[in-house]
Structure 1
Amino acid sequence: MRYLGINKSIGMLCLSGLLFFSSCHSVYQLASIQSNSVEINSEYDTKQDNAAVAVFAPYKAKVDSIMSPVIGTCEVDMTSGRPESLLSNLVADVLREYANTLPGQKTDLAVINFGGLRSNLPKGDITFGTIYEILPFENSLCLVSLKGTDLISLFSDIAKVGGQGVSNVKLLISAPSNAELIDATVGGEKIDKDKIYTVATIDYLAEGNDGLGSFLKAEKRVCPEGAVLRHIVLDYVKKKTVKSEVITSSLDGRIQIKK
């Protein structure tokens, strides 16, 4: 009981301190936020902690056995970047293709974000690890129904950030310094303002994130269970490999900047 009383007293003292400091108004204000990506690669292997290496060795062997197997071949080096890129075109096309395999589903277009593509796809062997590096997040497919007028608004959102990954779409936007939507087509046709279009995207964007707030105007939103984007891309690579086909992509002018 004695020790219980001491612990209780210490706990009350700590709680009182927390309440005291939380009641004080800070004179500091956030001025700015800066961030950058740091690639963790073999450069850091030159200063290994041998004791830590020994502890993690069994787990590393297990992870390597899962991530190292080759599942396909990439024909060209694929990077991501605005306004369009080989990698973003590939992933957007794969997402739309998968969505159209779902029962009773007809998907008009697909939209992904560059922020979700965290690495490049190099020419040569593709492993499980390669795809996990590109798509590390648990982003899942969402099918969003948008009226034509709201789809135009979504394309305006995309224009403002200088482009995103799209499929079955062609956008003409003005220069990044004054980025605005100039023209847009879906499947080679002008947008019918009264038509309802089905957009294949990821849950993160369907919630209006990454500057694509027009997704919140959705008439309907359906997110099939278990349809994780990473798994969709993995399955696509495996199926291509079974057919002895390589993974490739092309730049087709789906997003152009008016000079």
Structure 2
Amino acid sequence: MHKKFFLLSALFALIACKQSQVTLKAIEGTQLAITDSLAQDQEVLDYIAPYQKHISEEMSAVLAYAPQSHSKTEGPYNTAIGNMMADAVYELSNPIFKKRTGNAIDGVLLNHGGIRSTLNAGEVTMRTAYDIMPFENSIIVVELTADKVRDMFTYLKSGKAHPIANMQLVLTEDDSIVKATVNGKPVEDGQTYFIATNDYLRQGGDGMVFFADPVSETVLDYKVRSVLIDYFKEKDTIAPVRDNRFIKE
């Protein structure tokens, strides 16, 4: 008797659940604007105050000095600030890459659009590095065939001042290549070249598709911004210049 009653109860419960299924008909929401009119929570402000003070002090710490201001718009093909970034990546990444692989970086290619601020004259701080490079991009060294390196130089013929280091590209007035060297030498068939770049460009950012399908790649776990910070710490004076690494005759 009790068993039958239990089975009937369970059956009625299942039928009731089946009949009471809910169907979503609409979703409503309200937009809450975040403005100065919202009251501040003093308890939260007091809690974060010590951290905010520490971060502000760290960001304002003077690392070096710049005699002049430099912008990525100061000239075609190569800029002083772009040269500085590419040189910094080469100088500080090469020892790490050598230690890990036994090979040396042959060249560096970054992107003009990745420079997000000017290098202002005066004190150079950690905030300077964050302003110039606010993104979390990290350095990757890709091993490219000679044909891929030639594709890279062809891409650079567009004339935008993408930062390069340890390479040279000289163009004629009609954008024909007069000279294209890596490590001071012309590109040789059958050779591969280790080019340092960032993870955004490695994925084809800014149309740099020649980085696809490299012979090998090495992730250095070293952010470009961290390179700048370390570079500023190593140098007493930051005085980059425009040169002939990428020019049109």
Q: 2:200 aligns with which of 201, 204, 207?
A: 204
Q: 2:90 aligns with which of 84, 90, 96?
A: 96
- Counterpart code for 1:13: K
2:26 alignment partner, SS class: helix
Higher relative contact order (CA 8 A, sep 6+): 2
The TM-score with structure 2 as length reference comes to 0.76
The answer for the alignment partner of 2:57 in structure 1 is 65
1:73 alignment partner, SS class: strand
Worse-matched range after superposition: 49-58 or 75-84:
49-58
Q: 1:252 aligns with which of 243, 246, 249?
A: 243
Q: Distance in 2 between matches of 1:52 and 1:109?
A: 53
The answer for the alignment partner of 1:35 in structure 2 is none
Identical positions, percent: 26
Q: Distance in 1 between matches of 2:41 and 2:84?
A: 40
How many Å apart are 1:221 and its aligned residue? 1.2
How many Å apart are 1:163 and its aligned residue? 3.5
- Counterpart code for 1:208: G
The TM-score with structure 1 as length reference comes to 0.73
The answer for the alignment partner of 1:224 in structure 2 is 220
Aligned residues: 214
Query: Could you give the per-residue CA deviations for residues 117-146 of structure 1, whole angstroms, max 9, x where no partner exists?
Result: 100101110111111010000010100101
User: Based on CA coordinates, which of the two structures has the bigger radius of gyration?
Assistant: 2
1:140 aligns with 2:131: no
- Counterpart code for 1:92: A
Q: Give the aligned CA root-mean-square deviation in angstroms.
A: 2.9
Structure 1 residues not aligned, in runs of 5+: 1-5, 18-47
1:157 aligns with 2:151: no
Is the 1:141–1:223 Cα contact (8 Å) retained in structure 2? yes
- Counterpart code for 1:120: T
- Counterpart code for 1:14: A
1:14 alignment partner, SS class: coil
Instruction: Please list every run of at least 4 consecutive aligned residues from structure 1 whose deviation after the TM superposition is greater than 6 angstroms.
Output: 50-57
Q: Distance in 2 between matches of 1:54 and 1:173?
A: 60
Q: Distance in 2 between matches of 1:77 and 1:198?
A: 32
Structure 2 residues not aligned, in runs of 5+: 1-19, 29-34
Q: 1:13 aligns with which of 13, 16, 25?
A: 25
Q: Distance in 1 between matches of 2:54 and 2:37?
A: 19
